[in-house]
Amino acid sequence: MRSSTIRAAAGGLLVAALLAACGGGDDGNASSSAVWHGTTSTGRDVGGVTLADGSYYLLYSSTTDANTVGGAIQGTATLTGEQFASQDALEFSAEGLGIRPSTLAATLQAGSSFHGTVTTTASGAAVTFQTRTYVAAWGATPMPTLQRLAGAYTGTAGFALGVRPAVFTVTETGAVSSTINGCAITGTATPRTDVNAYDLAIAFGGAPCALPGLAFTGIAYIRPDNGRLYAVARNTPTKQSVIFSGAK
């Protein structure tokens, strides 16, 4: 990966966290754990995962192509009744706006809908989203397996200052690999037990990666209606992140 590209990414790659503790998933209150899909008030495709521990991962597309990554939002929330509130949201824009602290206020109806507003802290700009659940937490068929995930996915990866073509490959043992601008990326994917999604951990390789060994954690899932893989992962200390969308 070219040094300039990685430095741009360092200014704010956001792929929200692919598992800080890889393996398995939380067996807490699963009512809020689900995979979602819908649209935003700005005409973007949006989807993602909410988990019982309050963490969430939302990915949105570009305005011109639902299959091209545009950005992601990740944080932790409290759920009181159906009110889903997050004060620590971080939005990563793959369209040149970098990482923006935000808040999220939403209504989450378990097994049904998840809709709300994301507000950029600095500017007060707000975008609404409306999604419906694809796969509820428990009793989902089929639940995630590495056999279902395995394959080569061709699509786009999002960075702080733009989008690059990328292919992510996952084996039946959960090994993840990719190369973006000459930088090798490797990692692991682990099926969760509480929702139809996968914990993901990846890291940059050596040269020509400008930030060798930098590790990212987050989540990945396959959207049931189109079979596309979506992933978001972040390096928490540096706030660098990566997002991906691709199809076999």
CATH number of 3-9+141-247: 2.40.128
3-state class of 52 per DSSP? coil
Tell me which DSSP letter residue 30 carries: G
The secondary structure element, H or E, covering residue 8 is helix 3-10
Instruction: Determine if the peptide bond prior to 224 is cis (ω within 30°).
Output: no
Mean pLDDT calculated for residue range 148-157: 96
pLDDT tens sequence across 197-236: 999 999 989 988 877 898 999 999 999 888 999 999 998 8
Tell me which DSSP letter residue 29 carries: -
Q: What is the model's pLDDT at position 224? A: 83
Is pLDDT above 60 for 70?
A: yes
Phi-psi region of 224 (alpha: psi -120 to 50; beta: other; left: phi over 0): alpha
Q: What is the model's pLDDT at position 135? A: 54
The rounded percent of the chain whose pLDDT value lies above 70 is 83
pLDDT tens sequence across 127-136: 999 999 875 4
Based on its alpha-carbon atoms, the radius of gyration of the chain, rounded to whole angstroms, reads 16
CATH 2.40.160.90 domain span(s) along the chain: 30-136
Residues 6+ apart with CB under 8 A from 38: 46, 47, 114, 115, 129, 130, 131, 132
CATH number of 30-136: 2.40.160.90
CATH 2.40.128 domain span(s) along the chain: 3-9+141-247
pTM equals: 0.84
